[in-house]
Structure 1
Amino acid sequence: MASDPILHIKDSYYFEVPSWLAPSHRESLQDFPDVWIRLDPAYQLWEANLVHAKLSELSKGVPSETDFIHNWEHWQHEPGNHGKPVRRYLKELAEEKTKDDKPANPWAESWPEAQELVTVAEYRETAQPWSPKKIEGYNEVLSGKILIPQPFGQLRNLYQKDSGFCISRFMVLETLVAIVMVLVFTWYASRLKKSIVPKGRVTHLLDAFVCYLREQVIRPGIGHGADKFVPVLLTMFFFVLGCNLLGMIPWLGAPTASFSVTLSLAFATLVIGMGAGALKFGPVGVWLNLIPHMDLPLIIGIPIKIMLFVIELAGLFIKHAVLGVRLLANMVAGHLVLLGIVALGVEMSGWNLILTLPIIVGSAVLFSCLELFVAFLQAYIFTFLSSLFIGASTHHH
């Protein structure tokens, strides 16, 4: 399940909106998406029986059908295994080893071949129709959920992929931000080509951002040779800003509230900095540049410089990891505070709710304004720190 259905902090493979905007009116088993059918207990039992039959044909030593199903269902009741299909159970069995480091269940190693023979399409053709009560319950759960098509992969559930390349909600939003950036800055560049002096409110706004970041952030942060990094750092700023601002729009969420996004951006900063340093100092020199210059006797200098290199190397990776965590923590923290304020009114009723409602609404508005400020501030801080890190990698200490 999502960490919270209101603020969409966790990534998913669907967009969630109010149920009245996207009601689910599916009438039969045939109308439900494959991922939902695979989560149905009746399908999973059918799948387990079929996989057992295929395993019995492929291998020897397979337990009886009754024991196989019983053991799988018992495994499902263990912590962390609730609702997991039989293929997850068999994969775990196949990985078990004896004391002699031999397969504990050699028959289970054939599970991928047996699993490939099981398809949702076959279940749709052979299964008994679902009861109206089950369909009604599933429609209630799926109402308000707009599932993202997955042409290149298969989902395990609405929050985890099973195989292939699956498209998540944050991927769609990041692509949207990238497309908007291409369109806006292509237009911005065309306006500047027509006139040396920017004209128009939007052009002036963009020009103010670009000039300030270039003159007050990137050039001072990197120093000599900073201009070649201006395009990539401007791209980072506006991409982070766009992702942050999406968190202010209902039912979308901020992609920068995901570790995968923020750590990828921090990794990009690391690669750019060390790559530029390698071009300037050489593939070995860029690492030796981590050690500050010291005039020490050889017998003392070698051990001290080795220790400093280890410390600086650890610091290099830690500070870039913190760069990503800082961005994520600030974006998630605002959402959690806002959620806590809104949640104050959930359990209230009557006069208590009437008296506290203005306070809750007012606080939510103020914190939303604060989040808007934080969205710009964190984009600025990320760009500023990235400039400093790149500058440290491309200049002698």
Structure 2
Amino acid sequence: MSDPILHIKDSYYFEVPARLAPSHRESIADFPKVWIRLDPDFQLWEAKLVFKQLAEQNNGTPSEEDFLHDWEHWQHEPGNHGKPVRRYLQVLAAEKNDEGQLVNPWAESWPEAQKLVSVQEYRETAKPWSPDKIEAYNKVLSGKIIIPQPFGELRNLYQKDSGFCISRFMVLEFFIALLMLVVFTWFAGRLKRNVVPKGRFTHMIDAFVCYLRDQVIRPGIGHGADKFVPVLLTMFFFVLGCNLLGMIPWLGAPTASFSVTLSLAFATLVIGIGAGALKFGPVGVWLNLVPHMDLPLLIGIPIKCMLFVIELMGLFIKHAVLGVRLLANMVAGHLVLLGIVALGVDMSGWSLVVALPVIVGAAVLFSCLELFVAFLQAYIFTFLSSLFIGASTHHH
């Protein structure tokens, strides 16, 4: 799911064709901090510096040669490739024997030793990188627009190390939120100035809003639905905007990430439970999960208890499925498109000439289908959210 063409996996950079953003860095000073931290020479320099500080502060440390050998051996284990020495020291500091005692107590003070590591100091004191290394790094970084991180540090281009880091999907989501703010502020101003909406774009927005309010939200929630109209309209247009971004090359759809879709589903859950708690009380909202049944006390108690457990599990499962459904539908379309386009990768000559019109035609048709799915999934998410909120705010 981290295919570089689909951009399904979130990252801390935008990728465009290399010719649009070539990398012409000439020295260590020109490379971003996150890239320097991934360099083997920097990691070795970091390991020596941290170990030297640990050896000065603690007794019982191994020799530097043994320490570096064990760390490099640990890096070759599955899942540890390229991990810096601080990750290795975290593992050592947590190791305990059968009696619950620390095996490597000297490693506990690694955070204080780690504070001595400075990328700027390495830039100033390290041996200059060879032209071949710089050329190889420039080739890899060409086309990658790394997002600045003023509030955090990156471990690599896909994982944060500390603080608050801004990812590509966050930027796209902020863009959609800002666009919605501008459009709907303008739309509200137009409605205030005119009794009847005027203009094609105004009519289009008005058609969406009225249809969702009258045909989706009100029927789905029932009595008292109007107070939920603003938040559900916001969800619809936010999901739609994120879906449509997936149709633009080199951007990707934020709704193809679990963190986005599950957060939206969790918002629906909180809104439903919160509104139900305001209406039925903090306890009544949970008791409302069980439908009303006139049963004898001896039979009613065990049956209602079992139903409560089943309904409670169903409440959380259906909201989780709400998020998974949105992600799965967005990812599936991208995978189908990738499969179609990939048909011509290994072809050449007359076979490519014959297959090319079929591939292009199929890609266009599935792109149109993806465009339809973008609208459909936003509609389905809003419709199901309305049903779930309605179920939480009305007696069964």
> Shared topology, TM-score over 0.5?
yes
Q: Which runs of 4+ in 1 moved over 6 A?
A: none
For residue 320 of structure 1, what is the aligned residue in structure 2?
319
Equivalent-residue separation in structure 2 for 1:97 and 1:91 (angstroms): 12
The aligned amino acid for 1:262 is T
Check if 1:278 corresponds to 2:277: yes
Which string of whole-angstrom CA distances, capped at 9 and with x for unpartnered residues, describes residues 334-378 of structure 1? 011111111111111111111111111111111110000000000
Count of residue pairs the alignment pairs up: 396
- In the other structure, the counterpart of 2:287 is 288
Q: What residue is the counterpart of 2:307 in the other structure?
A: 308
Q: Match of 1:82?
A: 81
Cα distance between partner residues in 2 of 1:94 and 1:366: 56
Q: For 1:360 and 1:31, locate their aligned partners in 2 and report how far apart those are by CA, in whole Å.
A: 42
1:265 matched to 2:256? The reply is no
Instruction: Using the TM superposition, give the Cα deviation of residue 142 of structure 1 relative to its aligned residue in structure 2, in angstroms.
Output: 0.2
Amino acid at match of 1:31: D
Per-residue displacement from partner, 1:288-322 (whole Å, max 9, x unpaired)?
00011111111111111111111111100000000
Residue of structure 2 in register with 1:203 after alignment: 202
Per-residue CA shift, 1:162-194, capped at 9, x if unaligned? 000000000000000000000000010011111
Instruction: Give 2:296's aligned residue.
Output: 297
SS at match of 1:24: coil
1-structure distance, mates of 2:100, 2:388: 47
Aligned to 1:11, the other structure's residue is in SS state coil
1:104 Cα offset (Å)? 2.0
Question: What amino acid is the match of 2:264?
Answer: L
Name the residue aligned to 1:220. 219
Which residue does the alignment assign to 1:347?
346
2:66 maps to which residue? 67
Map of 1:14 onto structure 2: 13
Distance in 2 (CA, whole Å) between partners of 1:59 and 1:379 is 59
Q: Aligned residue for 1:133? A: 132
1:374-393 equivalent positions in 2, closer than 5 A:
374-393=373-392
Work out whether 1:369 is the aligned partner of 2:368: yes
> Aligned partner of 2:370: which letter?
E
Q: How does 1:94-243 map to 2 (within 5 A)?
A: 94-243=93-242
Three-state SS of the structure 2 residue aligned to 1:224 is: coil
Q: Distance in 2 between matches of 1:70 and 1:238?
A: 55
Task: Provide the secondary structure at the position in 1 that maps to 2:91.
Answer: helix
Deviations 1:125-170 (A, max 9, x none): 1100000000000000000000100000000000000000000000
Structure 2: distance between partners of 1:263 and 1:350: 46
Give the counterpart letter for 2:208 in structure 1: F
Describe the SS at the equivalent of 2:166: coil
- 1:106 Cα deviation after fit: 1.2
CA distance in 2, matches of 1:289, 1:57: 64
Within 1, Cα distance between the matches of 2:254 and 2:116?
Answer: 37
Separation in structure 2 between the aligned mates of residue 59 and residue 189 of structure 1, nearest angstrom: 67
Matched, 1:53 2:52: yes
Supply the AA of the counterpart residue of 1:194. R
Amino acid at match of 2:304: K
Q: Alignment identity in percent?
A: 83
Equivalent position of 1:245 in the other structure: 244
Query: Could you say what secondary structure the match of 2:360 adopts?
Result: helix
Partner SS state of residue 10, structure 2: coil
Aligned equivalents of 2:158, 2:31: Cα separation in 1: 17
Give the letter aligned to residue 321 of structure 2.
V
The answer for the alignment partner of 2:328 in structure 1 is 329
Q: Which amino acid aligns with 1:96?
A: E
Quick one: distance in 2 between partners of 1:372 and 1:52?
55
2:36 aligned with 1:34, yes or no?
A: no
Q: Distance in 2 between matches of 1:219 and 1:112?
A: 56
Q: Which amino acid aligns with 2:121?
A: E
Q: Measure, in 1, the Cα distance between the counterparts of 2:31 and 2:96.
A: 39
For 1:396, the equivalent position in structure 2 comes to 395
TM-score by length of 2: 0.99
Q: Which amino acid aligns with 1:293?
A: H
Q: Distance in 2 between matches of 1:304 and 1:104?
A: 53
Counterparts of 1:193 and 1:38, CA distance in 2:
55
SS at match of 2:162: strand
SS at match of 1:207: helix
3-state SS of paired residue (1:99): coil
Residues 228-275 of structure 1 deviation map (CA, whole Å, 9 limit, x = unaligned): 000000000000000000000111100000000000000000000000
The CA deviation string for residues 91-148 of structure 1, in whole angstroms up to 9 with x for no partner, is 1111222112222211111111111111101111110000000000000000000010
